[in-house]
Copies of this chain bind each other. A is one copy, B any other.
Amino acid sequence: MGGLLTDARLAYRTHGSLAETRDNAILFPHMYSGTPASLDGWIGPGRPLDPERWFVICPGQFGNGVSSSPSNSSGEFPALTIGDDVAAQHRLVVGHLGVEKLELVVGFSMGAQQAYEWAVRFPEAVRRLAVFAGLARTTPANDLLVAVSAEALQTGGTLQHARFWAATGLSAEVFRKEEWRSAGFRSVDDLVTRLFEDDYGRFEAADLLCQLAKWRRADVSRHAAGDLGAALGSVSARTVVAAFSHDAWFPVADCAAEQRLVPNSEFGIVESPWGHYAWGMTRAETAQIESLLRDLLAT
């Protein structure tokens, strides 16, 4: 996009050690409203992302408040794309860490956007791809939700934006069956406060807007003259595309439509009432997600 990010800083976090053969690296970019630390809970001994086996690199996307972001930069911050993130991550992974081939690139939501971008742009560098509840190209329906989310931020600030996410990010089943009880919340108010307001409230609106603008522009078909089928058809990674059963932001059918365009791919559904928030919400969702990762890493 028009604009130059000078002295860009990419904050990242690693877990485990890179093997001398440099063939145990996993890249794990993060979601909207997260940082590399948001992913710590997925990495541990005995888990699919076991730091005793893998070298897990968690890069911080631009606009997350830790990597270069409106909040920590002077002057006008340029309009960025997911491609800018991935270009910087490629310099980190290949140039700085000396890893030529990633054993896995895995991401959820905006992390999935980055993972798709990696697999399309650098197919030779991605052996396996796992994308959860995210799209390679933002659909009109998804774009409308993101646009309205950004408007809530701009006119109402982070807390109004948080409540917008509470109203749209979960499924009605969470409320109908009071699923929030078993997830450790005391009431609907407690759920809205702790899961949404406290989370989004940590960030500056300008940083979140930077991320949302990237989200809206996400489109791997830029690498194939606008042909999504050609772009996804060029992915050589063994791929798992997974949708969350009740996710209004990334409906199953939209995720499945993209999966069918990826040659060496399988489709999975994570059953959960938690909508877009199924990502690690309770043990039930974590077990399904980790099972898909375990099977993919075993190939």
Contacts and interface: CB of A to CB of B under 8 A. Distances in A.
A66 interface: no
B163 A144 contact: yes
A160 interface: yes
Contacts of A199: none
Contacts of A160: 148, 151, 155
Given A140-B188, A188-B144, A192-B144, A151 B163 contact: yes
A296 interface: no
A1 interface: no
Given A151-B163, A155-B155, A176 B248 contact: no
A156 interface: yes
Contacts of A173: 253
Q: Which of A148, A155, A174 neighbours the largest number of chain B CB atoms within 10 Å of its CB?
A: A148
A12 interface: no
Nearest to A152: B152
Interface in A133-156: 139-142, 144-145, 147-148, 151-152, 155-156
A257 interface: yes
A107 interface: no
A254 B175 CA distance: 10
A101 to B, nearest CB: 35
Given A151-B160, A155-B155, 18 more contacts: A139-B172, A141-B172, A144-B166, A144-B175, A144-B192, A148-B152, A148-B164, A148-B168, A151-B156, A151-B163, A152-B164, A155-B156, A155-B160, A167-B168, A172-B248, A172-B251, A172-B253, A173-B253
14 contacts: A141-B170, A141-B172, A141-B174, A145-B167, A148-B164, A151-B156, A155-B156, A155-B160, A156-B156, A164-B164, A167-B168, A172-B251, A176-B251, A176-B253
